């Protein structure tokens, strides 16, 4: 990944990032259209970098066809080196990492959140597994909660506003918990399991055996637990919406409903949750966008929500 004498323009990198999110996540792409132009472009830029790192780490393409990789350490070093170049303001020569360079400079993005996300890839690179619920949520922070914090800054939240960043982190945790519930079978095929060992022991499931047919009903119980946790963190996240401008609030509420639908579908499908990949339909996305519009217009009501519960997991503070 080296620079060249003819660097792509910001517009070209934004266009590439827009194509990446359109192919990589129809849910996030739909929600991102609700942002004002500047915020939308910056959200695309951040997504492009996150997507590229995830694809490099997992040997996949746009989040699909994940496979086990044998050179995880080398892939992680590639991510770290290119990311550090981007944060230093240097042209990397890769559109996804140059996207990070641009959005970090334009928003004064705290580098600690970028490093926290990269540490999530480091966990996967060393074949890490969560032992406890706290371990699970720590992982969810590194791979998604930190992204929530970065997106809040992209939307104009003051990096010193720790309370609002907590709520943004909560939404990232909710998204990742929904992902884990949906992808239990897919992760198992790639040799991964994000169900805490303590949960498996509680259900009398030996590690590595959770996708055996005779354990399906027990795994369903755990998937529903993940879905319930996702809803709890999504509910907590709503309090932060009051701090956002209208179009950002609209996008966030729409994304929360769209992704919440994934967790709800997994829970409702029971033992059949992994027969096919759970998705939200175009109609469901449109309904979420329409419902979020009214809530965003009256977003001040979210300021009256209770203070964040002490029972919820707390992200690390710098």
pLDDT in tens, 83-111: 999 999 999 999 999 999 999 999 999 99
- The verdict on residue 124 lying in a domain is no
313 and 191 share one domain:
yes
Q: What single string gives the DSSP state of each residue in 166-213?
A: HHHHHHHHHHHHHHHHHTHHHHHHTT---S-HHHHHHTT--TT-TTSG
As a whole number of angstroms, the distance between CA 17 and CA 92 comes to: 15
Output b/e per residue, 206-245; b: 16+ Cβ within 10 A: eeeebbeeebbebbbebbbbbbebbbbbbebbbbbbbbbe
Residue reference for tokens 């449109």: 286
Whether 189 and 299 share a structural domain: yes
Give 65's pLDDT tier (boundaries 50, 70, 90). low
68 pLDDT above the threshold of 90 = no
pLDDT of residue 129: 93
Shared domain check, 239 and 140? yes
Question: Is the confidence at residue 67, as pLDDT, over 70?
Answer: no
| Domain membership flag for residue 200 | yes
In this prediction, residue 84 carries a pLDDT of 97
Same domain, 173 and 61: no
114 inside domain: no
Range of the domain at 135: 129-318
Nearest to 104 by CA among 153, 144, 56: 153
Q: Is 85 helix (H, G, I), strand (E, B) or coil?
A: helix
pLDDT at 150 over 70: yes
Query: Tokens 């949750």 — which residue?
Result: 273
pLDDT at 192 exceeding the cut of 70:
yes
Residues 288 and 218 in one domain: yes
| pLDDT value for 69 | 61
Look over the chain and give the mean of its residue pLDDT values, rounded to a whole number: 92
CA dist., res. 48 & res. 294, Å (int):
30
DSSP state of 300: G
pLDDT band at 278 (very low <50, low <70, confident <90, very high): very high
Q: Tell whether 316 and 188 lie within a shared domain.
A: yes
Evaluate whether residue 122 is within a structural domain. no
* Residues 161 and 304 occupy one common structural domain: yes
Global model pTM greater than 0.85 = yes
Q: Tally the domains of the chain.
A: 2
Same domain, 169 and 311: yes
* CATH code of the domain in which 292 resides: 1.10.600.10
Q: What is the mean pLDDT of residues 287-305?
A: 95
45, 179: one domain: no
Residue 246 domain flag: yes
Q: Is 1 inside any structural domain?
A: no
């Amino acid at each position: 990944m080296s620079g060249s004498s003819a660097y792509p323009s910001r517009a070209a990198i934004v266009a590439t990032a827009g194509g990446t999110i359109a192919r990589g996540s129809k849910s996030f792409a739909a929600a991102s259209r609700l942002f004002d132009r500047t915020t939308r472009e910056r959200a695309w830029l951040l997504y492009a970098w996150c997507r590229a790192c995830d694809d490099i780490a997992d040997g996949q393409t746009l989040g699909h066809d994940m496979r086990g990789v044998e050179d995880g350490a080398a892939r992680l070093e590639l991510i770290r080196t290119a990311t550090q170049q981007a944060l230093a303001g240097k042209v990397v020569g890769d559109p996804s990492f140059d996207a990070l360079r641009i959005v970090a400079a334009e928003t004064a993005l705290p580098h600690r959140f970028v490093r926290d996300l990269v540490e999530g890839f480091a966990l996967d690179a060393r074949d890490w597994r969560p032992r406890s619920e706290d371990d699970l949520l720590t992982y969810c922070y590194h791979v998604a909660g930190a992204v929530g914090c970065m997106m809040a800054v992209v939307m104009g939240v003051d990096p010193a506003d720790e309370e609002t960043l907590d709520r943004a982190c909560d939404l990232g945790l909710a998204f990742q918990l929904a992902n884990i519930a949906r992808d239990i079978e897919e992760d198992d095929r790639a040799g991964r399991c994000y169900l805490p060992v303590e949960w498996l022991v509680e259900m009398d499931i030996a590690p590595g055996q959770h996708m055996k047919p005779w354990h399906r009903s027990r795994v369903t119980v755990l998937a529903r637990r993940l879905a319930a946790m996702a809803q709890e963190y999504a509910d907590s996240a709503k309090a932060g919406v009051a701090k956002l401008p209208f179009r950002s609030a609209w996008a966030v509420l729409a994304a929360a409903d769209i992704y919440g639908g994934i967790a709800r579908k997994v829970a409702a499908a029971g033992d059949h949750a992994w027969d096919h990949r759970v998705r939200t339909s175009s109609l469901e996305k449109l309904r979420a966008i329409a419902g979020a519009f009214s809530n965003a217009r009256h977003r001040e009501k979210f300021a009256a929500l209770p203070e964040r519960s002490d029972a919820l997991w707390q992200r690390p503070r710098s």
